[in-house]
Structure 1
Amino acid sequence: MSFFRKRSTQPPTAHRTVETPAPLRPDSASAVLNVLTTGLDSAVPEDRRAGISAALGGPIDSSEDCESRRAFIALDWLVRTWTPRWTRFVPGVGEELAVNLEGLPPITDLATAEAAGNFVGVLASTPAQAEITIAEYKGNIYDEAAAAAARSAASRVCAESAGTAVADAAASTVLEACLAARTDVAVNGVTAIALLVSLDGVAPYIQHWAAGPGEIEAKTLSIRALAPHAAWRSLESTAESLQQSALQLHRRLVELR
């Protein structure tokens, strides 16, 4: 053993910056509000999130009766406010469905949920119809770009218009009523409607870009980059309006006693 081992010089300890974690959103005693708040945190822009969490700072009535009423109010909003806003995009049958849903009595129990479900069921065939339509958009890069952009926009619509958050909040407490009201059919139907609406919205832009000057490779890159924004534009104002309505719903549920 050597007594003259080369001593390795220890490198100076690097200064490590410890990141302070973002403050956690306070949970309330209400399961409905916790689910709804989590969903809205993901759906709304960052500048509106502070108000959502701040609302949970005060006392919350989490009694069984209050929780049930919260969940039914959320379910009612989904069926009689959120769903009609989207079905109105469909001339004729969609507009008629919107009028029927808005004209229903408030959903407050299983019986009124079942009555609503009879109307919501009209949307059951909408996804298949949408797929038949979009299947025709193939065979060239422009149609395929339009279809891809429309699918991308439709995949965002339920979350960003707060439908997913409210549906999950209602189901956390009154699942049987949600099944009776056919909320899954509503969500899938709205996604299909959004697919067709965004497809109609993006197609003219793509036709314009395709007819413009330039090499096909450059136009293809441009279309693929811009088409998703054009597709979402057809849905954006409705999604933002429903976000605002959902924030009002959240405040109402927080204040419920």
Structure 2
Amino acid sequence: MPGDPDPYFDEAEAEEHELTGGGTARVFRIGQTVRKPVMPWSPAVHRLLDHLERQGFEGAPSAHGTDEHGRTILTYLAGDVGNYPLPDAVRSGQALATSARLLRRYHDATTGLAQHPGSDWQFDALAPVEVICHGDFAPYNCVFSGERAVGLIDFDAARPGPRAWDLAYALYRYAPLTHPDNHDGWGTTERQAYRAREFLDAYGCTREERQSVMDMAAPRLESLADFMRQGAAAGDENFRRHIEEGHLALYVRDIDYIRDHVEVWARLAL
């Protein structure tokens, strides 16, 4: 609670270091903790993190109330976050497979909470509710030890929904399903399709699940583009700046690219 002594604060490690990575909120590290702003959906996120801890999922931070500045206190996960431009280690086949297995373990750990998820998430639930989606599963929200994905951070976009919602966005970022002119992407269309299949196989998808994920790929990215437009229209300066910098145009081009190569992606379900 605000004003209570902070058991995770060490006077010897009192210096704050701002963490970077492209998010819209300012996040700081103090010692072995992370401090970030409290948001209206923070109670839902903390409920999720508490649930993951009870389930024995070790790849997520623990929540420990708030500090004297009213910021959320989270444990710091040691390792390297996959920020862009992605290093070779995060582009590797091992990083791809271990990220997929991390997502599967996370999803499986949330099935109980998904039965009674509450309604205080940032985003509304999506049918069918199978898990608590992370909502932004990408290298920049994964923690790596060398080429192995060992942790998952930033659950602000979490919401009840189908596994395919997270898997579709994961493929966009990890395959990656990007137009050749997108500087965050790499590889030919065929190489991207191969990596997408490798990710889905490492996750453990059935043929039907692979098909549902590929059907979700373009709509998932369209929802992100719409979210950016709506945020900018509502006066959010971060979204306005991102649009001016060309991020929205990249997403729109990537959506067209995904739709233009639907036959290539469809072969993943065979």
TM-score with structure 2 length normalisation? 0.25
The structure, 1 or 2, with the larger RCO (C-alpha pairs under 8 Å, 6+ apart) is 1
Q: Which has the higher strand share?
A: 2
Q: Which has the higher helix share?
A: 1
Higher Rg of the two aligned structures: 1
